[in-house]
Amino acid sequence: MSVRRLASADQQPPAFAFTAENERWLAQQIAKYPDGRQASAVIPALWQAQKQNDYWLPRKAIEAVAETLGMPMIRVMEVATFYTMFNLEPVGRFFVQLCGTVPCHVKGAIDLKQALLNKVGDERHVSADGNFSWLEVECLGACCNAPMVQINDDYYEDLTPDLLVALLDDLAAGRPVKVGPQNGRHASEPEGAVTTLQDPALYDGSVVGTWRDRFRDDPVATGETEAATATGPGDPKPAKPDAGRATERPVTDTPATRAAQGEAPVHPETRADSADSAKKTQTDEAPSAEGAKPQSDKSYTATPSKPAEGRPVAGAGGTTPVAGTPPSEGAPRAEPTKPVGADPDASPGRPPKE
Ligand code: FES
Q: Could you tell me if the CB of 112 is within 6 A of ligand 1?
A: no
Asked if the model's pLDDT at residue 155 lies above 70, the reply is yes
Q: Could you tell me if the CB of 104 is within 6 A of ligand 1?
A: yes
Give CA 50 to chain center in angstroms. Answer: 37
State the Cα–Cα distance between residues 221 and 214, nearest whole angstrom. 9
CA-closest candidate to residue 76, choices 56, 46, 54: 46
Instruction: Report CA(78)–ligand 1 centroid distance (Å).
Output: 27
Residue 161's pLDDT band, with cuts at 50, 70 and 90, is very high
State the Cα–Cα distance between residues 150 and 91, nearest whole angstrom. 13
Question: CB–CB of 344/353 below 8 Å?
Answer: yes
State the Cα–Cα distance between residues 135 and 139, nearest whole angstrom. 13
Question: Which residues of the chain are in CATH 1.10.10.1590 domains?
Answer: 9-82
pLDDT score recorded for residue 194: 84
pLDDT score recorded for residue 197: 86
Percentage of residues in the chain having pLDDT higher than 90: 51
Total residue count of the chain as it appears in this document: 354
pLDDT in tens, 215-240: 666 655 556 556 666 655 555 565 66
pLDDT score recorded for residue 320: 55
State the Cα–Cα distance between residues 60 and 66, nearest whole angstrom. 10
Mutation test residue for ligand 1: of 113, 143, 150, the one with most atoms within 8 Å of CB: 143
pLDDT score recorded for residue 123: 94
DSSP state of 40: G
Which ranges of 31-106 does DSSP label H, i.e. alpha helix? 42-52, 59-69, 73-82, 102-104
Q: Could you tell me if the CB of 49 is within 6 A of ligand 1?
A: no
pLDDT score recorded for residue 228: 61
Parallel/antiparallel/unpaired status of strands 94-99 and 154-157? unpaired
State the Cα–Cα distance between residues 73 and 70, nearest whole angstrom. 9
Angle at 240 between CA 235 and CA 243, to 5 degrees: 130
Question: Which residues of the chain are in CATH 3.40.30.10 domains?
Answer: 94-181
- Number of the ligand 1 atom closest to the C-alpha atom of 100: 2
State the Cα–Cα distance between residues 248 and 164, nearest whole angstrom. 90
Instruction: Report CA(37)–ligand 1 centroid distance (Å).
Output: 35
Instruction: Report CA(182)–ligand 1 centroid distance (Å).
Output: 16
pLDDT in tens, 91-147: 999 999 999 999 999 999 999 999 999 999 999 999 999 999 999 999 999 999 999
Q: Could you tell me if the CB of 142 is within 6 A of ligand 1?
A: yes
pLDDT score recorded for residue 191: 82
Mean pLDDT of the region 58-70: 97
Instruction: Report CA(6)–ligand 1 centroid distance (Å).
Output: 27
Q: Could you tell me if the CB of 99 is within 6 A of ligand 1?
A: yes
- Number of the ligand 1 atom closest to the C-alpha atom of 109: 2
Q: In Å, what is the CA distance from 171 to each residue of 153, 185, 238, 246, 262? A: 13, 21, 81, 86, 114
Residue 259's pLDDT band, with cuts at 50, 70 and 90, is confident
Fold (topology level) of 94-181: Glutaredoxin (3.40.30)
pLDDT score recorded for residue 121: 96
Q: Could you tell me if the CB of 143 is within 6 A of ligand 1?
A: yes
Question: CB–CB of 305/338 below 8 Å?
Answer: no
Fold (topology level) of 9-82: Arc Repressor Mutant, subunit A (1.10.10)
Instruction: Report CA(158)–ligand 1 centroid distance (Å).
Output: 11
Parallel/antiparallel/unpaired status of strands 154-157 and 149-151? antiparallel
Crossing angle for the helix pair 59-69 and 42-52, nearest 10 degrees?
140
Instruction: Report CA(26)–ligand 1 centroid distance (Å).
Output: 32
Q: In Å, what is the CA distance from 261 to each residue of 227, 258, 265, 269? A: 58, 5, 10, 21
Omega into 147 within 30° of 0, i.e. cis? yes
Instruction: Report CA(103)–ligand 1 centroid distance (Å).
Output: 6
pLDDT score recorded for residue 195: 86
Average pLDDT value over all residues in the chain: 78
